């Protein structure tokens, strides 16, 4: 029973310093024991192909793992208080990044979503500070 997966379709609101406006995206949320898994697809404009994201939150390890497949592919690990490394595969070639995670707010209590505050330091040496959040909106009849 502990590994039972309960998955629900829902609509997310996604905010990031990388986007000028919040994005709404359909997806799923699942609870697998102590892990919460968000899955969604984004498409910002017609020229861009769809990008599929899966974010796994592991509260007891203060860790979030984000897998991204689209024009850019990557597997990024965010660990509170630790620096991790990742490679983003882009049309311009691979970009190595160091991820310095400040904090992760996990789902629970009044929060039906998650927030990750971090700095990405690409091999170019020009750090990018960002706060990413995903919030589950109420069930939507369009889903």
Cα–Cα distance, 123 to 96 (Å, whole number):
6
Domain membership flag for residue 143 = no
Three-state SS across the chain? CCCCEEEEEEEEEEECCCCCCCEEEEEEEEEECCEEEEEEEECCCCCCCCEEEEEEEEHHHCEEEEEEECCCEEEEEEECCCEEEEEEEECCEEEEEEEEEEEEECCECCECEEEEEEEEEECCCCCEEEEEEEEECCCCCCC
Domain membership flag for residue 64 = yes
Task: Tally the domains of the chain.
Answer: 1
Domain membership flag for residue 142 = no
Phi, then psi, of 60 in degrees rounded to 5: -65, -15
Provide the b/e sequence for 66-91 (b: ≥16 CB within 10 Å). bebbeeeebebebbeeeebebebeee
* pLDDT, position 1: 43
Domain membership flag for residue 141 = no
Cα–Cα distance, 142 to 71 (Å, whole number):
26
* pLDDT, position 46: 78
* pLDDT, position 20: 87
Domain span including residue 66: 5-136
Q: What is the CATH number of the domain that holds 24?
A: 2.40.128.20
* pLDDT, position 89: 95
Q: For the chain (length 143 residues), average pLDDT per consecutive 10? A: 69 90 92 90 82 95 95 95 93 93 86 91 86 82 50
């Amino acid at each position: 029973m502990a590994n039972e997966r309960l998955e629900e379709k829902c609509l997310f609101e996604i905010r990031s310093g990388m986007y000028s406006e919040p994005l709404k995206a359909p997806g799923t949320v699942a609870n697998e024991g102590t892990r919460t898994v968000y899955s969604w697809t984004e498409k910002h404009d017609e020229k861009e192909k769809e990008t599929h994201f899966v974010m796994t939150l592991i509260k007891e390890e203060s860790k979030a793992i984000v897998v991204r497949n689209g024009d850019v592919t990557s597997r990024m690990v965010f660990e509170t208080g630790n620096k991790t490394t990742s490679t983003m595969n882009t049309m311009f070639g691979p970009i190595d990044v160091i991820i310095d995670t400040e904090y992760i707010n996990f789902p629970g209590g009044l929060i039906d979503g998650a927030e990750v505050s971090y700095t990405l330091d690409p091999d170019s040496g020009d750090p990018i500070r960002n706060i990413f959040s995903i919030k589950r909106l109420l069930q939507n009849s369009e889903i």
